[in-house]
A and B are shown apart, each in its own frame.
Chain A
Amino acid sequence: MPSIILGRLVSLILSLIAASIVIFLVLEVVPGDPAQFMLGLNATPEATAALRTALGLDGPLLERYFTWVLGLLHGDFGISYTYKVPVSGLIADRIWISLPLAIYALALSTLIAFPVGILAAVRRNSATDVGIMGATQVGLAVPNFWFAMLLVLLFSITLRWFSAGGFPGWQDPLLALKALTLPAVALALPQASILARVMRSSLLDTLGEDYIRSARAKGLSQGQTLWRHALRNALIPVLTIIGLQFSFLLAGAIIIENVFFLPGLGRLVFQGITSRDLIVVKSVVMLLVFAVILVTFLVDITYALVDPRLRRATR
């Protein structure tokens, strides 16, 4: 077991180093000078040069790379070119929107997908199944930003139950949750559709296994078989999908964040790219890479813990 962890740990560190080099180099070759962008059309060349120096943009490549990486290791993410505040503070503020939003959307999608997927599997080929499959197909096909606009049109403009966007902060948790509700619903719809379909097919697979027939043969009812045997085994691929969806929701909600003008992590990266606030882009992307690699690492370890076959194979 420790050898597995050690092996995984080495690959985690190598992945991080590789990622940091790629991120750094990609942002180096992006056209556009941050100093020029910040000073605009009327700036004198001297002022632009002065700003480049002030931002530390004119040192040698290698030196700047190591300054950045060493800073990261110390928890120093640098100062945003645009906002002139520490990047770590920006990330900390925004993670409090992106993380709860991702969890909220994931909870919603799971709450919808599980019963719907199970129902479709149990009533295979019935009208219910066909209806559910059709509905999830639509859920997959509808672009979530368009669905988001429809939600705004109905619930914000016509009914005026929710505000059209923005985030009031967590001082009042209920108000904050309310502000995240429409975005979470808009994000959850396609995720729930995927999850429901995976749930259905995974459950159908396990329901066809021999041990299910044995369970039925030893006298368990259909419901008991479903809950005790089929569902547990069917959950493995579903959980994998949920894991993938979570990383996507954390960083990939940019469009929804734009529709609802929420200051989340995705929009921070997006704005960082357009305004050439490269230090923010570098650090946030690095952080997201770290999060994904860490999750994968933990999942690998968990697999080894849970599945005895995996442990034996490496011994």
Chain B
Amino acid sequence: MRRSLVVLALAGALAMTTAMTPAFAQARTDVKVGLVLEPPSLDPTAEAAAAVDEVLYANVFEGLTRIIADGSVVPALAKSWDISEDGLTYTFHLVEGAKFHDGTDFNADDVKFSLDRINAEGSLNAQKALYASIASVEVVDPATVKVTLKQPDGNLIYNLAWGDAVIVAPESADANKTNPIGTGPFSFKDRVEGDSITLEKNQAYWGTPVKLEGATFKFIADPTAAFAALQAGDVDTFPNFPAPETVAQFQSDPRFRVVIGSTEGETILTMNNGKAPLDNVKVREAIAHAIDRQAIIDGAMFGYGTPIGTFLSPANPDYIDLTAQSNYDPEKSKALLAEAGVTDLTLSLKLPPVEGYARRGGEIIASQLAAVGIKTEVTNLEWAQWLSEVFTDKNYDLTIISHTEPNDIGIFARDGYYFQYNNADFNKLIADLAVTSDPAKRSELTKAAEKNLADNYAVGFLFELAKVGVENAKLKGMWENAPTQATDLTGVSWEE
């Protein structure tokens, strides 16, 4: 008798917990977001790590302008701006009534402080190069700022929308690393290092208030753990789900929705243009024709990814499809190698610690290269090693990497960059692009730059990384694509 009572009590308790779960789901105003990478410190103006923006961009911090879901740039803390005839003076008209989370007012002084800080001596801003055109910042009145440039900069409005140019207050800027104070619709509440970051609704927000009362970001690096966390309901969404092999299981489960979108991640087989025999365009072309993009997408990425033939996202309106120029053609590849007089070629292939495109992709590429007679020495590196050996010391022949910053075709023109492309025509195109504001001319120059990279087989262009998101089927308003690395929660809500 006693035992059956216990069993009954247990069953009752179980029934209650299961009965309570849907009741909670109805009234939910919080969201638990799973992310693979944890932000180091919390200041987007001092950290390069994408993870910082993935938590704070648009949620806690805002810039003068802002990138939205479709990739376009819209006004944020600057409600409008005028550009002078010569393109050298930008006058920003700021929103009024905005406040920082610590209660201080937002005004033109904060804008001047934030922009000056980027270009200051000893600044730790990781994207400092993007704002090098700024000559001075002048406060006209509390709601107006005048930015004067050294030369016209067609990218300024876009670059100001990056997380690296968010507006911070002089009083709180230094403490943002651990206690971020912005003007956004969410304020920072709490952090458990290694585990989670919690945000809560900013009741005094100047713009459209958000529907959520709070949000928790949980950091789960292990793909299996990510799968389990979604299945067990520990997180409601994984905007960049790290276990594509389990996606089919989520697709067949009505509790979840799988969203495949695009990113700004051009995944490339980087060739060291500065090192023989890869300084020979024929050899680079041979390698490009040896690669079967679709086999890599299927084998390494479980079918998620869009083939690219140049260094721009296919989601970009200026993108041109140049994949045919470097189509899979092993015979042509062998012929080109013979033409270049290269025999018995052995190249180093140094791979960063990314399980999908780099490690799995690396094996496939090594075997594809072997098929045309190119041997590879594959080395697996961890990030810090990769950064020093490949990126800084340029001690490599080949590597596989995804460049995830938006609109970063200009990196091929950088002096001393690890591609060592050093192409005078290309550098000229990028220099022209930087001083051009006319949209039609910009588009023309961008396309010419794309063609230049494809014509010279600058690197092996593989595919655009897909954004594989898995979310609770009742969750609405998460970004489908990732035009910038962010988890913008401003439009997120739960279905009634």
Contact = CB atoms under 8 A, between A and B. Distances in A.
Nearest to A167: B195
Contacts of B392: 33, 36
Contact of A42 (B41, B48, B224): B48
Contacts of A85: 178, 193
Interface string B171-205: 00000011000000000000011111000000000
Nearest to B216: A166
A36 B387 contact: yes
A263 B221 CA distance: 12
B122 interface: yes
Given A42-B129, A85-B193, A90-B193, A152 B391 contact: no
Given A33-B392, A160-B232, A165-B229, A261 B41 contact: no
B479 interface: no
Interface string A202-235: 0000000000000000000000000000000000
Contacts of A84: 40-41, 43, 177-178
B376 to A, nearest CB: 21
Interface stretch (A61-69, A266-274, A299-307): A266-274
Residue picked from A47, A152, A169, most chain B C-beta under 10 Å: A47
Contact of A94 (B194, B225, B385, B411): B194
A274 B228 contact: no
A41 B412 CA distance: 12
Contacts of B222: 258-259, 261
A47 B229 contact: no
A39 interface: yes
B384 interface: yes
A23 interface: no
A37 B125 contact: no
Nearest to A259: B225
Interface in B286-332: none
Contact of B232 (A36, A156, A268, A275): A156
A263 B220 contact: no
A41 B403 contact: yes
Given A31-B384, A166-B218, A274-B382, A47 B193 contact: no
A261 B196 CA distance: 10
Interface residues of A, number: 53
Given A47-B126, A259-B225, A274-B382, A33 B193 contact: no
Contacts of B425: none
A282 interface: no
Given A164-B232, A274-B383, A258 B221 contact: yes
Interface string B22-49: 0000000000000000101101000111
B100 interface: no
A91 B387 CA distance: 28
B40 A276 contact: no
A124 B129 CA distance: 75
Nearest to A159: B14
A50 to B, nearest CB: 5
B384 A274 contact: yes
A15 interface: no
B254 interface: no
A161 B48 CA distance: 39
A247 interface: no
B106 interface: no
A82 interface: yes
B385 A31 contact: yes
Contact of A156 (B228, B387, B411): B228
B251 interface: no
Given A41-B403, A152-B228, A263-B194, A50 B41 contact: no
A39 B383 contact: no
Contacts of A42: 48, 126-127, 129, 405, 408, 411
Contacts of A259: 222, 224-225
B83 interface: no
B126 A50 contact: no
A47 B127 CA distance: 9
B193 A93 contact: yes
Nearest to B132: A44
A166 B195 contact: yes
A30 B234 CA distance: 37
B51 to A, nearest CB: 11
A153 B122 CA distance: 51
Interface string A32-46: 111011111111101
B389 A36 contact: no
A83 B48 CA distance: 13
A83 B193 contact: yes
Contact of A37 (B18, B127, B221, B387): B387
Interface string B343-369: 000000000010000000000000000
A261 B218 contact: yes
A260 interface: yes
Interface string A121-143: 00000000000000000000000
B228 A157 contact: yes
A54 interface: yes
A51 interface: yes
B219 interface: yes
Given A39-B48, A42-B48, A156-B232, A167 B225 contact: no
Nearest to B196: A166
A37 B389 CA distance: 12
Given A38-B48, A39-B124, A259-B222, A165 B384 contact: no
B221 A261 contact: yes
Given A50-B123, A258-B221, A263-B193, A156 B231 contact: yes
B177 to A, nearest CB: 4
B232 A157 contact: yes
A163 interface: yes
A32 B123 CA distance: 22
Given A40-B48, A47-B123, A83 B411 contact: no
A32 B48 contact: no
Contacts of A169: 192
Given A43-B48, A84-B41, A275-B384, A149 B224 contact: yes
Contact of A165 (B48, B128, B225): B225
10 contacts: A32-B382, A40-B49, A47-B123, A54-B122, A157-B231, A163-B234, A166-B218, A258-B225, A271-B38, A275-B383
Given A85-B178, A166-B220, A259-B225, 16 more contacts: A30-B384, A32-B383, A33-B388, A38-B49, A54-B122, A81-B40, A82-B40, A83-B41, A84-B40, A84-B43, A93-B193, A149-B228, A166-B218, A166-B229, A258-B225, A276-B384
Interface of B: 18, 38, 40-41, 43, 47-49, 122-129, 177-178, 192-196, 218-222, 224-225, 228-229, 231-234, 353, 382-385, 387-389, 391-392, 403, 405, 408, 411
Which are the 9 A-B pairs with shortest beta-carbon distances? A32-B384, A263-B194, A40-B48, A164-B228, A164-B232, A84-B41, A84-B177, A82-B40, A156-B232
